[in-house]
């Protein structure tokens, strides 16, 4: 059983900032996430998308924001357990005991849940069910991996169009297929893609994937029309994700649908369990990265007092600490 002051469940932006703040408060930290890389939804869904509403950055790519957050926490040596699923919650001597899917137990002074959407699973591409090879992906962690390829994107939402914008300068060709005529993506993003040499095929579906061990092409069937075969080295299935709280739903937390109710201290109804970021719910809640940062700091500072009643709630100014 591993002992730690604070276990942070979720390595998205709020969780990573909480790791920094806990370290700043002199607390030992373990960050747990079921995904294999830090960054949560940003890393999984839009690492190359530019974000404009993070304080102090007129614009910053998702990947760079995650890298900066990891670097910010690094001096305090947080331990990362990535690809690890937090499953069971119990208490030993009044402190939370967190059981992981791999059998490891983490005995904590407090837990801060920053799970964002909770566990999210990509919606499958039906045509891919009969294809056992490689080349079908749900997100693109490194755009350079698709440089010079013929890329087929399936979907009509923001993620599909973000990938089209990001990949067009690098790929040999980009084709986007959507089953409807109208797109769900933001109108300005759609307009930008229309100005690029990206082929848009609407009222159509990818019906077959071709290739021997690796994607080589696909059949596109247009509603009321025929079927054509297009060349493709990679198929990006940007069909969205389904999300749920997973094992967190069994922790006895007070829930509002798939969100965790917290008070002004970011405390839940369970002792020593706090939450921050998109996973939380309270009156006036606004789900933004910027909001999550403030909630993470609030959760850590209140957890610090619970862990050590002699500690001060106000952490002092980081500029004074050096």
Q: Which of 107, 31, 104, 115 is nearest to 272 (CA)?
A: 107
Q: Per-residue b/e over 46-85, b at no fewer than 16 CB within 10 Å?
A: bbbbbbeebeeeeebbbbebbeebbebbeebebebbeebb
Residue 102 annotated as binding? no
Contact by Cβ (8 Å): 54, 65: yes
Residue 33 annotated as binding? yes
Residue 120 annotated as binding? yes
Residue 72 annotated as binding? no
Q: Where are the alpha helices (DSSP H) in the chain?
A: 13-24, 40-45, 62-73, 158-167, 187-194, 289-307, 318-321
Structure tokens at 86: 């937090």
C-alpha of 297 from chain center = 19
Residue 46 annotated as binding? yes
Residue 119 annotated as binding? no
Residue 319 annotated as binding? yes
| Per-position DSSP letters for 28-49, written without gaps between them | -EEEEESSSSTTHHHHHH-TT-
Pick out the residues of the known binding site. 33, 41, 46, 86, 120, 278, 319
Pick out the residues of the known binding site for FAD. 33, 41, 46, 86, 120, 278, 319
């Amino acid at each position: 059983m591993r002992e730690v002051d604070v276990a942070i469940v979720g390595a998205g932006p709020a969780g990573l900032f909480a790791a920094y703040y806990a370290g700043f408060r002199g607390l030992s930290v373990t960050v747990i996430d079921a995904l294999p890389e830090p960054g949560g939804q940003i890393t999984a869904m839009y690492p190359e998308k530019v974000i404009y509403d993070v304080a102090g950055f007129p614009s910053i790519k998702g990947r760079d924001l995650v890298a900066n957050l990891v670097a910010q926490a690094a001096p305090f040596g947080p331990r990362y357990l990535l690809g690890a699923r937090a499953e069971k919650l119990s208490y030993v001597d009044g402190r939370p005991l967190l059981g992981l899917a791999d059998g490891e137990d983490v005995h904590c002074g407090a837990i801060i849940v920053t799970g964002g959407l909770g566990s999210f699973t990509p919606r499958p591409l039906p045509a891919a069910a009969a294809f056992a090879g490689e080349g079908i992906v749900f997100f693109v962690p490194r755009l350079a991996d698709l440089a010079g390829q013929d890329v087929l994107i399936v979907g009509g939402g923001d993620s599909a169009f973000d990938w089209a914008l990001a990949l067009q300068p690098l790929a040999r060709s980009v084709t986007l297929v959507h089953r409807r005529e109208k797109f769900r993506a933001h109108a300005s993003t759609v307009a930008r893609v229309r100005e690029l040499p990206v082929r848009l095929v609407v009222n159509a579906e990818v019906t077959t994937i071709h290739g021997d061990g690796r994607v080589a092409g696909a059949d596109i069937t247009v509603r009321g029309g025929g079927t054509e075969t297009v060349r493709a080295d990679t198929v990006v299935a940007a069909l969205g994700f389904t999300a749920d709280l997973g094992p967190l739903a069994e922790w006895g937390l007070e829930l509002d649908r798939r969100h965790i109710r917290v008070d002004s201290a970011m405390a839940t109804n369970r002792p020593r369990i706090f939450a921050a970021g998109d996973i939380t719910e309270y009156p006036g809640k606004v789900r933004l990265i910027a909001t999550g940062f403030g909630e993470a700091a609030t959760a850590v500072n209140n957890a610090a007092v619970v862990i050590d009643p002699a500690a001060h709630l106000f952490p002092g100014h980081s500029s004074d600490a050096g």
